[in-house]
Amino acid sequence: MRIVACLKQVPEDARFDRASNTVVREERKQMLNPADSYALALALAIKDRLGAEVTALTMGKPFAAKMLPAAAALGADRLFCVSDPAFGGSDTFATASILSRAIRHIGGADLVLCGRRAIDGETGQVGPELAVMLDMPCLTNVARLESVSEARIECGRLLEDRWEIHSAGFPCLLTCCDGVEGIAYPRMGSIATMRRALEIPVTTLSLHDLSGDFEGNLDDGSGDAFVFGRQGSPTRVRKTAVHEEQPRAGVLLTSPESGAAAIAEAVRLVLEEQAP
């Protein structure tokens, strides 16, 4: 089974460039998007049970590649970073278009695993868009692995007030919550795994690589146009604003007596207000 885990590098503290309305991405303050670590954990759990080739795929600035060896140390077999100045400013549609081309370029997948949402953009659109572009069924909000075989995967979807159990055949795409039950969170591998990880190269894919397959005409036969970068993005972030919390005046109650009296007075005032 070929599994691709889509891993996004996100800023530890979100700051915006007000001129371009984009997230400021500095190399020193980046981390793996939390939900994506569970996408990777799920991929590795399936590899443990069935045997699978796990590919870690990211798109971002060249320094995004630096987080990939950690995925190899946990057990990923192949590492790809899609990076090209032409991809800068991509919205979710363009991001999904680029990732779908990359997945086709590296040989396709039986199972694609994404996070439910990235903590910087927070749209949660990339996974479902990617599923459409790869022509795969999509299960979102996966928070529990029920069972998996060579033919099917059964998962629990966590909704606001209930669980839903779904099953899908392969190929399919799942988006994972910040936590997936039924799997062990991967620990650093054995010395042998770590040695092997050091030998796994990070392959960078550029616009040229993703379009070169198709004689430069950007058509891979899927019928979808290849869109990327700001020019190819149908949406624009017009404005960003920081939500300022208004601090509420607190009341310090220093003894049970004064606390009880203050609460009794508050209740009396509410009852008085409500009295006809």
Residues that bind ligand FAD (CB under 6 A): 6-8, 22-23, 33, 35-36, 39, 58-60, 90-93, 95, 114-115, 117-118, 120-127, 235, 237, 240
Smaller CB separation from ligand FAD, 22 or 204: 22
Parallel, antiparallel, or unpaired: how do β-strands 163-169 and 78-82 relate? unpaired
Smaller CB separation from ligand FAD, 185 or 267: 185
Q: Is 131:137 a contact under the CB 8 Å cutoff?
A: yes
Measured in degrees and rounded to the nearest 5, phi and psi for residue 260 equal: -60, -40
CB of 87 to ligand FAD, least distance (A): 9
Instruction: Provide CB contacts within 8 A for 168, sequence distance 6+.
Output: 137, 139, 152, 153, 155
Query: Quick one: tokens of 148?
Result: 């998996």
CB of 265 to ligand FAD, least distance (A): 44
Smaller CB separation from ligand FAD, 123 or 149: 123
CB of 253 to ligand FAD, least distance (A): 40
Measured in degrees and rounded to the nearest 5, phi and psi for residue 197 equal: -60, -40
CB of 218 to ligand FAD, least distance (A): 19
What is d(CA 248, CA 192) in angstroms, rounded to the nearest whole number?
56
Smaller CB separation from ligand FAD, 196 or 206: 206
